[in-house]
Structure formats: structure tokens, C-alpha cells
Amino acid sequence: MRKNYLSKEGYEKLDKELRDLKTRGRKEIAQEISEARAQGDLSENAEYDAAKEAQGHLEKRIAELENTLATSTIIDEKDINTSKAYLLSTVTILNKKTNKEMKYTLVSKDEADFKKSKISVDSPIGKAILGTEVGEVVKVKVPAGRLELEIIKIER
């Protein structure tokens, strides 16, 4: 079983989502199924089929969240060594091709949010910069081609 590493904020966000799905989500799906069932013949009832499918997706997400939370370890940002890029490190990198600086925080796949500059350590760029030190240059293959990235700064 794979261990998940989350920040306290990330753990709380997933836990809140799980509690919401178990309460409000299940209640809404049950109501949709009940309303569809009241329409009569279930063998040709598209609303009933759609509600049952939605219920399946909901239960799958609940199971995923329960597994993620059960196998998670919360990482304290104070314990992060800033000599190398690790999970929860904020890394400033220089794209050598465009000469642009970018700043990303390395997080687990469950916390990734590109709009907030949080990239997964499982992503191509995340994998490439994980474990690097300031001054190192890494080459990474991304859908848009090959990037050459220099590690400028590592922060907690």
C-alpha cells in the first residue's frame, strides 16, 4: 500500500470533502433515486439509471478519500530540510529556454492545484525537481517538448 504525504491543510480539505459527500452527497443521491423510482417502470427509466450511476461515482470517490486519508501521514512544514527540494518545498526555477522564473510548491497528487502553483511530485516537472539542490539544472520532457530548468531557490 502506497503512503500518502499531505500537509495539514491538505488533509483537512480532503477530510471536509469526505464528510460532505457522506452526509449531503448521499442524502441528495438518495432523494434523486427516490424521485426517479416514483416515476414508475425502472427498466426504461433514464433518470433512475442516471441517479444510480451518480451514486456509484459518489461511493467510488468516498472510498478513494477514505483510502487516501487512512494511508496518509501529515508532514509538518517545520521539519522540511531546505537544502534539497522535497514535498512541501517551494522551489523557484528558471526555464533556461524562455528565461522565465516560476515558483512551485511540491505537493502530493491529492493537493495539486496548478492555479495555486502547487504541483504534484508525480508530475513530470515535480519528479524532475524532487531531490534537487540550488544550482542544479534538470532536463524534463513535457507534452510541449523538453525543458531545461535551473533550481534558483528552495524555501519552506
CATH code at position 136? 3.10.50.30
Residues 150 and 83 in one domain: yes
- The domain spanning residue 8 has which CATH number? 1.10.287.180
Lookup: cell for 7: 500537509
Residue where one domain finishes, among candidates 31, 57, 74: 74
Number of domains comprising the chain = 2
74-91 pLDDT tens trace: 877 676 667 888 888 899
pLDDT band of 105, cuts 50, 70, 90: very high
Domain limits for position 70: 4-74
Report whether 51 contacts 66 (CB < 8 A).
Answer: no
Over residues 133-155, mean pLDDT: 91
CA-wise closest residue to 68 among 11, 7, 107: 11
Query: Mean of the pLDDT values across residues 38-42?
Result: 77
Distances, alpha carbon 154 to alpha carbons 10, 13, 106, 132, in Å: 21, 25, 11, 9
Residues 44, 89 within the same domain: no
Domain endpoint, select from 29, 50, 74: 74
pLDDT of amino acid 64: 92
CA 76/CA 119 separation, integer angstroms: 18
What is the predicted pLDDT for the residue at 2?
65
CA dist 110 → 10, 11, 20, 40, 86 (Å): 8, 9, 17, 41, 16
Provide the pLDDT for residue 150.
Answer: 93
Name the β-bridge partners of 147. Answer: 140
Query: Which tops the pLDDT comparison, 119 or 46?
Result: 119
pLDDT, residue 12, reads 92
- Residue 44: what pLDDT? 76
Residues 63 and 99 reside in one and the same domain = no
The residue with greater pLDDT, 29 or 82, is 29
* Residue 117 pLDDT greater than 70, yes or no: yes
Q: Comparing 120 with 3, which gets the higher pLDDT?
A: 120
Closest CA to 88 of 122, 120, 114: 120
Residues 85 and 123 in one domain: yes
Q: Are residues 83 and 142 in the same domain?
A: yes
> What is the pLDDT, as a whole number, of residue 145?
86
Give the lowest-confidence range in 1-5, 82-86, 92-96, 130-134.
Answer: 1-5
Q: Looking at the predicted structure, is the pLDDT value of residue 24 above 90?
A: yes
Mean pLDDT, residues 51-75: 91
